[in-house]
Structure 1
């Protein structure tokens, strides 16, 4: 089994973050607009110097002199100046692509005149999960998470499905590996994979299977993984289970309503009998007199 280890190297001095924002996860569909949150501790009279990076790649930078955009992000990213002066350094990422699926970090840069160097402080980290399709499945059913790698020319594909860094399924030729908790439940049939169909078959779906699944193909020449597809799996209970769950409150309500009607009927009957008794007593008194 081959696992991809990605080392993130930052050529900057990172000190205590300005804001105490925890690690944030944002989900976005391919083609949509994602907002990667970021906030500063105060407002500024002039535009602060803010920088965004994705892993070890430059994404966007705004300072008093203007903006700079990294390769591949032209026309797709911005930190609006009016919001930035108010302490909102959130990155707007348009036309989200599958390749945008990664970690993003935001920094504020201050120039130190005494040493003529830049002081760089990390603000926060955002994980952007990009999915191209959503799949729904019921508990106990079989789900097929679609995937197609025909655009890549590889004779014997080495394929993986993951949840984050956790291996769900891996296949290289006839050899395969099923991750912990997925034994006997997952497969990418070899004959389908050779046709370019890398769809994951997930049997006996459970509620805990609801998450984001990523498919990767491992390149033998570069020893690197290439992200092919991200699929969001939503799991619901069986329809009969939901019907049973809904029927229980209905039975209780019907029982309460019936009880109320019975009580009202008994009250009316008792009142009628009491009035009838009073009427008879009144008649007897008149006869006696």
Structure 2
């Protein structure tokens, strides 16, 4: 009975935490350190078991038995044990990468009885938004939106560039697709893609091309798309050179006028 009462109190605290911390959005720059907030709102005498997942899969776990870390986050994530004892399950994420962009969620596993039956409770949901790479281009020019995928387990490169839900360009091997309005203007060369470079070549830039572009690669063993790059493109007009037209007194060239008057005066003197 006592164990059941403790468990009910624990669930109440977790539910309270969910309502307070849900739908949090955190922004970070590539290479920075960010804290994804999570609060259990009660103090534990024993270290609970905490797992962090993102929308792709497992990220980090800490329990009294130690820690487990996904290889892609090795050396970059942690939940300090002393903080976890206080009910602070926030995840510290170092050296932020563009691939970290996405939704994260944390779980706590609490042993309910002596049979070691565990219950998983969703504690916190955090959206991590990684700032886009900034690039500007002039109207009519050609611009390169950078992208590399060489650190991903991929056999046949399959890249997609898109704006929100609109596909700009897609290539899988020799097959390619150009989105509406981008025909003849976009490409990811096949030979470059095979080298691990998925940069998008955008020709004849127009003012309407200004947007946030994302590129994803399809991972071979999971068949899931992984965000590789996010680029914000700003477009500026070609500056026009305009000659100043004289208007009223603002258009008078006073030095030239004085020289002209002086010349007339000298001619008048010598003519006498």
Match in the other structure for 2:119: 119
* Distance (whole Å) between structure 1 residues aligned to residue 213 and residue 38 of structure 2: 24
SS of equivalent to 2:18: coil
* Distance (whole Å) between structure 1 residues aligned to residue 162 and residue 217 of structure 2: 8
1:35 deviates by 1.8
Rg larger in structure: 1
Give the gaps of 5 or more residues in structure 1: 1-14, 241-289
* Distance (whole Å) between structure 1 residues aligned to residue 160 and residue 52 of structure 2: 30
Q: Does 1:96 align with 2:90?
A: no
- Given the superposition, is the C-alpha separation of residues 88 and 238 from structure 1 closer, same or farther in structure 2, using an over 3 Å criterion? farther
Asked if structure 1 preserves the Cα contact closer than 8 Å seen for 2:101 and 2:227, the reply is: no
* Distance (whole Å) between structure 1 residues aligned to residue 155 and residue 69 of structure 2: 34
Q: What's the CA shift string for 1:199-250, capped at 9, x where partnerless?
A: 21343254861x351242665xx5836758313315376697xxxxxxxxxx
Q: Does 1:204 align with 2:206?
A: yes
Q: What's the CA shift string for 1:177-199, capped at 9, x where partnerless?
A: 23466566543355755676532
Match in the other structure for 2:214: 213
* Distance (whole Å) between structure 2 residues aligned to residue 154 and residue 92 of structure 1: 29
SS of equivalent to 1:60: strand
Residue correspondences, number: 221
Q: What's the CA shift string for 1:67-116, capped at 9, x where partnerless?
A: 41224244332222444345432100223345545542201222212764
TM-score (norm: length of structure 2): 0.59
Match in the other structure for 1:264: none
* Distance (whole Å) between structure 1 residues aligned to residue 138 and residue 31 of structure 2: 30
Aligned pairs for 1:249-264 (under 5 A) are none
- Given the superposition, is the C-alpha separation of residues 81 and 196 from structure 1 closer, same or farther in structure 2, using an over 3 Å criterion? closer
Match in the other structure for 2:171: 171
* Distance (whole Å) between structure 2 residues aligned to residue 158 and residue 181 of structure 1: 22
1:122 deviates by 0.5
* Distance (whole Å) between structure 1 residues aligned to residue 232 and residue 49 of structure 2: 39
* Distance (whole Å) between structure 1 residues aligned to residue 157 and residue 48 of structure 2: 48
- Given the superposition, is the C-alpha separation of residues 85 and 192 from structure 1 closer, same or farther in structure 2, using an over 3 Å criterion? closer
* Distance (whole Å) between structure 1 residues aligned to residue 107 and residue 187 of structure 2: 42
Match in the other structure for 2:35: 35
1:130 deviates by 5.1
SS of equivalent to 1:121: strand
CA RMSD of aligned residues (A): 4.3
Q: What's the CA shift string for 1:1-45, capped at 9, x where partnerless?
A: xxxxxxxxxxxxxx96841234344444444323222233x2315
* Distance (whole Å) between structure 1 residues aligned to residue 235 and residue 105 of structure 2: 34
TM-score (norm: length of structure 1): 0.56
Q: What's the CA shift string for 1:109-152, capped at 9, x where partnerless?
A: 22212764112111233344557x72322585654211346789
1:58 deviates by 3.6
* Distance (whole Å) between structure 2 residues aligned to residue 152 and residue 112 of structure 1: 40
Match in the other structure for 2:51: 51
- Given the superposition, is the C-alpha separation of residues 17 and 236 from structure 1 closer, same or farther in structure 2, using an over 3 Å criterion? farther
* Distance (whole Å) between structure 2 residues aligned to residue 129 and residue 228 of structure 1: 12
* Distance (whole Å) between structure 1 residues aligned to residue 145 and residue 235 of structure 2: 16
* Distance (whole Å) between structure 2 residues aligned to residue 34 and residue 187 of structure 1: 34
